[in-house]
Amino acid sequence: MVERLGSGPGGVTRKTSFPPVVDVSTRVLILGSLPGDASLAAGRYYAHPQNQFWRLLSPVIGVDLPALPYDARLTTLRAAGIGLWDVVASATRPGSSDAAIRDATANDVAALIATLPALRLVAFNGGTAWKAGRTMVQGVETLALPSSSPLHTVGVAAKQPAWDAIAAYLTV
């Protein structure tokens, strides 16, 4: 959700994250920072066509996620034991850059974790999510991942080994 505060060109835009995508079988929770403008406009996690999120997770779970419709992607992630959310509940931010996030309000990550009995890992998608969220997590392993954002210009091949580490937490 995007809310314009004030009028005219000096108005500030407050952006709000999506609800979590989890269920009681979630074993890995991937936390981003705050959805970018393309995702907010589409009402979907990782909607920017150049975001590498779906491509990075595909080999982890053995499914071509970019080929699926969005709802099927979420269903497939849940079936694999992967949940999604963001560390930032809302913030002001011009554009999509994490560096521009101001006046952030945090999501209650600890409360969500308490509802996930099968959780084994909280993975942070990018440095901003890691810095903002790592202190919110107690009693479960954490993993800092290279950002899937198109603004993080390292290629998929360089990021893939870190993302592949998620697979070890998905087996029962």
Answer for the pair 109, 115: CB distance below 8 angstroms, yes or no. Answer: no
Count Cβ atoms below 10 Å from residue 152 Cβ, excluding itself: 16
Residue 7 phi, psi (nearest 5): -120, 160
User: Has 51 been annotated as catalytic?
Assistant: yes
Q: Which residue has the tokens 């936390």?
A: 31
DSSP symbol at 1? -
- Joined tokens for residue 81: 């034991």
Catalytic hit among 26, 51, 58, 125: 51
Q: Which residues carry out catalysis?
A: 51
